[in-house]
Amino acid sequence: MRLLVLVLLGLLIQAEEPKCSLMGRAQLPEFDKDGHFVIGGIFSFRTGKDGTTDTFNNMPDRRQCKNFNFREFKFAHTVIFAVEEINRNPDLLPEISLGYKIYDDCGTTDILRAAMNLINGPQRVENCTNPDAVQAIIGHSGSTPTIGFARVLGQFQIPVISHFATCACLSNRKEFPSFFRTIASDYYQSRALAQLVRHFGWTWVGAISNTNDYGINGMDGFARAAQKEGVCIEYYEAFESTDPEHSVRVRQIVDVIRNATSKVIVTFVSHREIKILVAELQRQNISGLQWVGSEAWLTDDSLIDSEGHTALIGAIGFTVRKADIPGLGPFLQELHPSQYPNSQFLRDIWESIFGCSLNPPMENDDRKQCNGSEHLRNVNNQFTDVSELRFTNNVYKAVYAVAHALHNLYTCQPGKGPFISGTCAIPTQTQPWQVLHYLQSVNLTMPDGEEVFFDSNGDSPARYELIHLRNIRKGTTEIDIIGNYDGFLPKEQQFRMNNVNIKWGGGHNEVPVSVCSESCPPGTRKAVQKGKPICCYDCIPCPPGEISKTADSADCMQCLSEYWSNKKGDTCIPKEIEYLSYHEVMGMLLALFASLGVLFTMMTAMIFYCYRETPIVRANNSELSFLLLFSLTLCFLCSLTFIGRPSQWSCMLRHTAFGITFVLCISCVLGKTIVVLMAFRATLPGTNVMKWFGPLQQRLSVLGFTLIQVLICVLWLTISPPFPYKNMNLYQDKIILECNVGSAIGFWAVLGYIGLLAVLCFILAFLGRRLPDNFNEAKIITFSMLIFCAVWITFIPAYVSSPGKFTVAVEIFAILASSSGLLFCIFLPKCYVILLRPNLNTKKHVMGKTSTDIHY
């Protein structure tokens, strides 16, 4: 398989490259140096004819390379600087020298050609010599070109170490078994950007990327991470500067940006695409955008050459950490064409920088000839600037990683090696897979304390600096470090912001707002608008009894059973507790009426006591009358037990006291009724019934009737007594404190027994209502019991249907009304006669048969 791939690539190169002996020379490295071990490098010193590098999208035509890329040129000389530094280090690869061969790709086919030249080893074709085989290749800066040759070289297990290719797809060990990188995968940068966007509350963003592997894979990772962070992408557009119709595509993208509502744009593009885009935005007078960039363009000094570059001021994004490489600056300044006479690129860049010619003057060449006094320390350009060494440091680390892998291979002790039977590699016959093995396990610490190692996928640790593009002036970009990201820490600790003032895009001093819908305040929840992303929503107030404590809550939280939501819906507060209290108007009025009932009863008792010897008092069975007045006093007083906060004792007392006192009261009335009937029955000739219902029998009957109710109450309290109960079913926002009757049978048995005595009393009184004589009390008792029964019959539906504390109020009203009915119907006429008609309070009148308008 490998042989077949090699043959096909050889045919491709032969088809693209003229034969050395007949049509010219083979592609030669720009910079090379022999050594025991050779490190290869592939960089893009120049761009294509149209100002852009080629991609693998189409098979390109062979292009004439032009334009200088100073950053790539610095990368190449960092390799040279690191190799020479290692060769001077006696502790690293002692007695072994490193060499290098560095190619300028200038297009896709040149990348493949350069890669094959680096791995083929020494071959002589007539008078042409191919370069020596290398132990590892450092490069390329782009993900798409790197994918092309890394997949091929992986078949031969030749290590490829990239300093800038961040596509997450390169972490696939099945497709790229020999690929490593000293820059983190976009897998982490995508997630870091999603956390960054969410940190500033930007939930509605635009997205623009390249159409190559770097852009598409990077944006795909960002979209997945953004979805988890609750960030929505309003639009996603992609273009490539190498597309023939890219200008039309850029205008379409600008139209999308103009019509969009999001003010933040997340980009996974190179410096070439971002310059084209901002130039078109300036031409169409579109500003006020906040750019969130990837590392591919944020720190590129070539941004100063773009039209509309000021629109990028305020951009933020993640990039690799800033570093310092001691000695690199002076090394770059000492570069001279004489050091590398075969490098045409170095000659071209030298002539461009100093505006002179290294060759003898030719016709139509107005440039002066270089006089040899030119020196790079006298100029200030991107090549010699070492103030922002970020990706350059990745190149530096890559060289040292290869050197340490070779050092471990070279210093292996026989019998302790990593291969079969503890064998070691033979330095003079080193195989690529052996270098690959040592490179996978390399672990070193750089002079600045940074650790260099690779995980099982060949990736380096994801550690970024969050940078802010503060200004672009004086030929350089001014950058502030405003935060850090470490992908190896727990998620809540990965992203940290520094306390730095930020000048936002569009010149704003405050964080821009980019949301589809305004934040929902506490007390509301988000309801997604139909047919729109989750970031577009309406704010719906939480229903009663539910709250949301934080802004942008997806759901409302149910309050606990004894709590209710406040008016804002952001806090659960204790429910209002309601019961019939002495402090409210209704409670005070009922207590007042009960007190008046007690007062009138006591006044009546006093009147009867003062006139106890008068005929009308004596004729009305004074003993039962005083007992009746006593029981009525208790009835009025027992109503007061229904007012106030229910407790265990008050609940048991109010119902039992009510039941017993009312039975005592009705028993007295029943006794008086029987006495009236017996008294008239005794007047008939030959009868002597009064001896069967004398005073003793009256007392026993009252006692017997009352004891039956006492027994019922004792059973009720023993089996299932009344107890205080928090009723939360009647009202949602209130707790009704009431007395649960416990056993419903016990409660209705007490009421039923009272009703039974009342009905019996009413029937007997009704039967004796037409008996002659002024003494006849049956009419008054009939009327009083009619009122009593009417009140309690009406009480039942009112009691069942009344809500909350009104249930208690209805019960108190029934007690007061029925007690008042008995008091006034039975005793008021007699008090009237005693106090206002004393002439009628005579034995003759009481025992008379004459008709009168007063009934006692």
pLDDT in tens, 630-668: 888 998 998 898 888 888 898 888 888 888 988 888 888
pLDDT in tens, 457-471: 999 988 888 988 888
Task: Please give the Cα distance from 338 to 358 (Å, whole number).
Answer: 10
One-letter identity of residue 183: I
Q: Is residue 323 within 8 Å of residue 450, measured between CB atoms?
A: yes
Q: What is the CATH number of the domain that holds 195?
A: 3.40.50.2300
The verdict on 47 and 108 lying in the same domain is yes
The verdict on 560 and 622 lying in the same domain is no
In a domain, 856, yes or no: no
Closest CA to 267 of 71, 101, 469: 469
Q: Is residue 438 within 8 Å of residue 403, measured between CB atoms?
A: no
Task: Please give the Cα distance from 306 to 278 (Å, whole number).
Answer: 8
Backbone angles phi, psi at 461, to 5 degrees: -60, 145
Based on DSSP, count helices (H) and strands (E) in the chain, helices before strands. 24, 31
In a domain, 350, yes or no: no
The verdict on 197 and 62 lying in the same domain is no
Task: Please give the Cα distance from 30 to 45 (Å, whole number).
Answer: 10
The verdict on 119 and 191 lying in the same domain is no
Task: Please give the Cα distance from 200 to 197 (Å, whole number).
Answer: 6
The verdict on 393 and 503 lying in the same domain is no
Task: Please give the Cα distance from 667 to 673 (Å, whole number).
Answer: 10
pLDDT in tens, 748-773: 898 889 888 888 888 887 776 665 55
Secondary element (H or E) of residue 247: helix 246-259
Beta-ladder partners of 651: none
pLDDT at 128: 38
Task: Please give the Cα distance from 721 to 650 (Å, whole number).
Answer: 11
Q: What is the CATH number of the domain that holds 746?
A: 1.20.1070.10
Secondary element (H or E) of residue 409: helix 391-410
Distance separating the N- and C-terminal Cα atoms of the chain: 130
Closest CA to 735 of 528, 626, 573: 573
Beta-ladder partners of 573: 564
In a domain, 370, yes or no: no
pLDDT at 814: 86
The verdict on 143 and 202 lying in the same domain is no
Assign 206 to helix, strand or coil.
Answer: strand
What is the CA angle 757-763-769, rounded to 5?
130
Q: Distances from the Cα of 501 to the Cαs of 314, 482, 624, in angstroms? A: 11, 8, 96
The verdict on 177 and 191 lying in the same domain is no
What is the C-alpha radius of gyration for the chain, rounded to an integer number of angstroms? 52
The owner of tokens 């006492």 is 710
DSSP string, 577-588: EE---TTSHHHH
In a domain, 485, yes or no: yes
pLDDT at 79: 94
The verdict on 718 and 799 lying in the same domain is yes
Regions of the chain with pLDDT less than 70: 1-27, 47-67, 106-110, 121-132, 305-306, 361, 363-365, 473-475, 619-621, 679-694, 768-778, 841, 843-856
In a domain, 855, yes or no: no
Which residues, at least 6 apart from 515, have a Cβ–Cβ distance to it below 8 Å?
A: 201, 202, 203, 204, 535
Task: Please give the Cα distance from 682 to 667 (Å, whole number).
Answer: 22
In a domain, 408, yes or no: yes
pLDDT at 776: 57
Beta strands in 378-475 (DSSP E): 443-445, 451-453, 463-473
The verdict on 593 and 705 lying in the same domain is yes
For 820, the domain range is 585-847
The verdict on 644 and 793 lying in the same domain is yes
In 17-120, alpha helices (H) = 20-23, 70-88, 108-120
In a domain, 679, yes or no: yes
Task: Please give the Cα distance from 609 to 793 (Å, whole number).
Answer: 34
Structure tokens, 330:
């002076």
Strands 160-162 and 136-138: parallel
Task: Please give the Cα distance from 21 to 12 (Å, whole number).
Answer: 18
Q: How many domains does the chain have?
A: 4
Q: What is the pTM of this model?
A: 0.65
pLDDT at 124: 40
In 430-531, alpha helices (H) = 432-440, 491-494
781 CA to centre of own chain: 75
Secondary element (H or E) of residue 817: helix 805-836
Structure tokens, 32:
């090379």
Give 114: exposed, middle or buried? Use CB within 10 Å, 0-12, 13-18, 19+: buried
For residue 140, say if its preceding peptide bond is cis, omega within 30 degrees of 0.
Answer: yes
Q: Is residue 77 within 8 Å of residue 138, measured between CB atoms?
A: no
Burial 553-579 (b: 16+ CB within 10 A, else e): beebeebeeebbbeeebbebeebeebb
**Domain termination residue (choose one: 449, 478, 495):** 449
Closest CA to 386 of 332, 317, 349: 332
Task: Please give the Cα distance from 249 to 210 (Å, whole number).
Answer: 12
Q: Is residue 427 within 8 Å of residue 414, measured between CB atoms?
A: no
The verdict on 487 and 561 lying in the same domain is no
Q: Is residue 291 within 8 Å of residue 197, measured between CB atoms?
A: no
As a dihedral over the C-alpha atoms of residue 143, residue 147, residue 150, residue 154, rounded to 10 degrees, the angle is 140
Residue 235 gets which letter from DSSP?
A: E
In a domain, 854, yes or no: no
Q: Is residue 210 within 8 Å of residue 506, measured between CB atoms?
A: no
The verdict on 143 and 121 lying in the same domain is yes
